[in-house]
A and B are shown apart, each in its own frame.
Chain A
Amino acid sequence: MTTKNTIAVLVNDHPGVLQRVSGLFGRRGFNIESITVGQSEEVGLSRMVIVTVGDENNLEQIEKQLYKLVDVIKVIDLSSKPMVARELAMIKVKAEPPQRPEIMGVVETFRAAVIDVGTTSLIVQVIGDTEKIDAMIELLKPYGIRELTRTGVTAMIRGNA
């Protein structure tokens, strides 16, 4: 059964490591839906969070193939455990003065924020899981979206684990 899987990969913070990991996905025919990278809690190590679509065999192969990379320290299948996943999006939406109150209403409902105001546009920042951001985009579409950027998902296991 094909599902969406979220994997955290702890890697050496060496030049080229992102290329090694993303190259591995490409070469082996694994799909990357989103990939985020940044510093981890330990100096010298980065944490990548990769969202991938595939079946159980795919996921097992991805984990095993990742472990073959010398720069990969640890691979964690986050989606097999209770996790929190968040993504940030910025949406530049067309907003003539008459539409603004309506748009502000949507922003407040989603507990999003307006982070820039132009004469005919607003930049809305929204943080949440992928579904929430998708919903927000749907609601803003009728006003006209001029530009959209999303960070991709980052995630962690809930609780003390």
Chain B
Amino acid sequence: MSAQIPEVRSTDELRQKWMKPEVITGSEILLRSLLLEGVECVFGYPGGAVLYIYDAMYGFKDFKHVLTRHEQGAIHAADGYARASGKVGVCIATSGPGATNLVTGIATAYMDSVPLVVITGNVVSSLIGTDAFQEADITGITMPITKHSYLVRDVEDLPRIIHEAFHIANTGRKGPVLIDIPKDVSAAQTLFVPQTEPVTMRGYNPNVLPNKIQLDKLTQAIAEAERPFILAGGGVVYSGGHEALYEFVRKTEIPIATTLLGLGGFPSGHELWTGMPGMHGTYTSNQAIQQSDLLICIGARFDDRVTGKLDGFAPQAKIVHIDIDPAEIGKNVAADIPIVGDVKAVLELLNQDVKRADLADAWRAQIQQWKAAKPFSYKDSETVLKPQWVIELLDKTTKGGAIVTTDVGQHQMWAAQYYKFNQPRSWVTSGGLGTMGFGFPSAIGAQMANPDRLVISINGDGGMQMCSQELAICAINNIPVKIVIINNQVLGMVRQWQELIYNNRYSHIDLAGSPDFVKLAEAYGVKGLRATNKEEARRAWQEALDTPGPVVVEFVVSKEENVYPMVTQGSTIDQMLMGDE
């Protein structure tokens, strides 16, 4: 087996080659347009309505097409590609069931503001609306979960639509854009004139630069604050504003928490960093938010997993909200100083005249005291593997340098708590939608975007079984993802809720009947390893790291372990269950 990730080929030279106007089919227009947009690889699955497109792809080597085993795998891979690279992820599926299989992935990307261009085929125009074979109104179905969508009615519109779709997906508040192409449109011919002009759309003008008056108010508020605190989210990573954020913290010396999606947007080892806030966040971050007198929210949207009970959230704080999407400001938490703009642009402007928060010395000392007194902690064991210990092992052996993708559940929270992220776009996780089945295929995309980096996919035994068929992709393309399964034999997060909130009534969480994951890996031609104690764990993990290709490592861990701290629904975030420390 060759140890090569399929090459990604989109180059300036190739783009030049496709620039000359020519009469070609809609399918060829699509492929050339994707190249002109800089697409390097697409994830997809063919079917009747996209046969012209796949026909045009026959022998086409100018970008890589990865054939997944399920459309859900394709779109999560495209999502992982986008999150890990900052580029637009692209996937293709056929009409009807192909398209509807993408719905979960589209919603996932929409909730987390991930730029995707999703291409679906549809039945021929004359059959639309007749309940034709494999027909589904995918633009209608996905309207609430896309940033915008197109049903292409005329092949002549195709170049413009693709150009617009990429622009919309990756500007402003990013998000998925769907292009639905009826079969006859992909077959029709027209003169293709490459679209290279900047897109101008009357109804779409993201507000990048902030209002100066509001910035001055913030500068003033920082000078007056005794207990200022920063809550930074995914917007920092998406805007490429991490360096500007670092500079902002360096200048102001204001303590900072990063949300689940903001992890990696600020170096986790930094003295002023207090960790993730919210439901499974640190004691320090939650206390700091509740006691702050100035809360500066940067590129985060006050998700309910962060705020807990809204009525009682940050009760003493003047709220500053910086966001590219005006609709987020005041949606959940009223802002005293609203700042609409691109996070990077806002921070760079602020950095020009912001000063150290001089009145906050006692506050900084208080934060350090909390951090020292209440870090994340768990009771280790010599007899059973603790999942937190496993994550610590991954962190130590990779020095926090890997790209980590996760599925959803307890392992996700432990990964967020115990892996130390120091650079942006190293953390790929489904935050808003909480999509099981996301972790593993998204790692394939992340690896495609970063052929030279170590990509670790951390999964539970439940979520792994939602897209495990994509092991085939890793095997045939030799995509060297290290697939970690934290196996506690139950749906762990559900078990935790049933234990703590539903009086130990463990209803339908036992995953007995799961496959032997080592054999499952081997059945696909991927190396499989298992560990049930610390020594085996160290050895298996080292072997995985030393193996050039993909490896599945199953860690059989304690079943009863819970994620702490925990804020139960309906509580304010300083009312935390700390577990048995």
Interface on A for B, CB 8 Å cutoff? 11-12, 15-16, 19-20, 23-24, 27, 57, 60-61, 64-65, 67-73
By Cβ-Cβ distance, the 7 closest A-B pairs, closest first, are A64-B327, A70-B148, A27-B144, A70-B204, A73-B203, A65-B327, A64-B326
Q: What B residues does A73 contact at CB under 8 A?
A: 202-203
Q: How far is the CA of A16 from the CA of B150 in the complex (A)?
A: 10
Q: What B residues does A65 contact at CB under 8 A?
A: 327
Q: What B residues does A68 contact at CB under 8 A?
A: 147, 173, 325, 327
Instruction: Tell whether, in the assembled complex, residue B327 and residue A16 are in contact, meaning their CB atoms are under 8 Å apart.
Output: no
- A16 touching B330 in the complex, CB below 8 Å, given contacts A72-B203, A73-B202: no
| 15 contacting pairs across A/B (C-beta < 8 A) | A12-B202, A15-B151, A15-B153, A16-B151, A61-B327, A64-B326, A68-B327, A69-B203, A70-B147, A70-B148, A70-B168, A70-B201, A71-B203, A72-B203, A73-B202
Is B287 interfacial (CB-CB < 8 Å)? Answer: no
**Chain B residue with the shortest CB-CB distance to A66:** B327
Is B379 interfacial (CB-CB < 8 Å)? Answer: no
Q: What A residues does B173 contact at CB under 8 A?
A: 68
Is B140 interfacial (CB-CB < 8 Å)? Answer: yes
**Chain A residue with the shortest CB-CB distance to B149:** A16
Instruction: Tell whether, in the assembled complex, residue B143 and residue A16 are in contact, meaning their CB atoms are under 8 Å apart.
Output: yes
Instruction: Tell whether, in the assembled complex, residue B203 and residue A12 are in contact, meaning their CB atoms are under 8 Å apart.
Output: yes
- A61 touching B143 in the complex, CB below 8 Å, given contacts A70-B168, A71-B203, A73-B202: no
Instruction: Tell whether, in the assembled complex, residue A23 and residue B143 are in contact, meaning their CB atoms are under 8 Å apart.
Output: yes
User: Shortest Cβ distance from B187 into chain A, in angstroms?
Assistant: 21
Interface on B for A, CB 8 Å cutoff? 139-140, 143-144, 147-148, 151, 153, 168, 173, 201-204, 325-327, 329-331
Instruction: Tell whether, in the assembled complex, residue B143 and residue A19 are in contact, meaning their CB atoms are under 8 Å apart.
Output: yes
**Chain B residue with the shortest CB-CB distance to A16:** B139
Q: What A residues does B139 contact at CB under 8 A?
A: 16
Q: How far is the CA of A57 from the CA of B204 in the complex (A)?
A: 23
Q: How far is the CA of A67 from the CA of B201 in the complex (A)?
A: 13
**Chain A residue with the shortest CB-CB distance to B329:** A64
**Which applies to chain B's interface (DSSP): helix, strand, loop or mixed?**
loop
Given contacts A67-B327, A70-B168, 8 further A-B contacts (CB under 8 A): A15-B151, A16-B139, A16-B140, A20-B143, A27-B144, A61-B327, A61-B331, A71-B203
Q: What B residues does A71 contact at CB under 8 A?
A: 203
Instruction: Tell whether, in the assembled complex, residue A67 and residue B326 are in contact, meaning their CB atoms are under 8 Å apart.
Output: yes
Q: What A residues does B143 contact at CB under 8 A?
A: 16, 19-20, 23
**Chain A residue with the shortest CB-CB distance to B327:** A64
Q: How far is the CA of A15 from the CA of B180 in the complex (A)?
A: 13
Q: What A residues does B147 contact at CB under 8 A?
A: 68, 70
Instruction: Tell whether, in the assembled complex, residue B330 and residue A57 are in contact, meaning their CB atoms are under 8 Å apart.
Output: yes
Q: How far is the CA of A68 from the CA of B151 in the complex (A)?
A: 19
**Chain B residue with the shortest CB-CB distance to A74:** B203
Q: How far is the CA of A112 from the CA of B155 in the complex (A)?
A: 51
Q: How far is the CA of A68 from the CA of B327 in the complex (A)?
A: 8
Q: How far is the CA of A12 from the CA of B202 in the complex (A)?
A: 9
Q: How far is the CA of A15 from the CA of B144 in the complex (A)?
A: 16
Q: How far is the CA of A57 from the CA of B327 in the complex (A)?
A: 11
User: Shortest Cβ distance from A23 into chain B, in angstroms?
Assistant: 5
Q: How far is the CA of A78 from the CA of B581 in the complex (A)?
A: 59
Q: What B residues does A27 contact at CB under 8 A?
A: 144
Q: What B residues does A16 contact at CB under 8 A?
A: 139-140, 143, 151
Q: What B residues does A72 contact at CB under 8 A?
A: 203
Q: What A residues does B140 contact at CB under 8 A?
A: 16, 19
Residue in B144, B151, B330 whose beta carbon sits within 8 Å of that of A60 in the complex = B330
Q: Which among B143, B173, B326, B327 has the greatest number of chain A C-beta atoms within 10 A? A: B327
Q: How far is the CA of A15 from the CA of B201 in the complex (A)?
A: 17
User: Shortest Cβ distance from A64 into chain B, in angstroms?
Assistant: 4
Q: How far is the CA of A19 from the CA of B141 in the complex (A)?
A: 11
Q: How far is the CA of A19 from the CA of B151 in the complex (A)?
A: 14
**Chain B residue with the shortest CB-CB distance to A61:** B331
Q: How far is the CA of A48 from the CA of B493 in the complex (A)?
A: 46
**Chain B residue with the shortest CB-CB distance to A12:** B203
User: Shortest Cβ distance from B202 into chain A, in angstroms?
Assistant: 6
Q: How far is the CA of A57 from the CA of B330 in the complex (A)?
A: 8
Instruction: Tell whether, in the assembled complex, residue A23 and residue B331 are in contact, meaning their CB atoms are under 8 Å apart.
Output: no
User: Shortest Cβ distance from B340 into chain A, in angstroms?
Assistant: 10
**Chain A residue with the shortest CB-CB distance to B139:** A16
Q: What A residues does B327 contact at CB under 8 A?
A: 61, 64-65, 67-68
User: Shortest Cβ distance from B161 into chain A, in angstroms?
Assistant: 12
**Chain A residue with the shortest CB-CB distance to B202:** A73
Q: Which among A20, A24, A68 has the greatest number of chain B C-beta atoms within 10 A? A: A68
Q: What A residues does B203 contact at CB under 8 A?
A: 11-12, 69-73
Q: How far is the CA of A24 from the CA of B326 in the complex (A)?
A: 16
Q: What B residues does A70 contact at CB under 8 A?
A: 147-148, 168, 201, 203-204
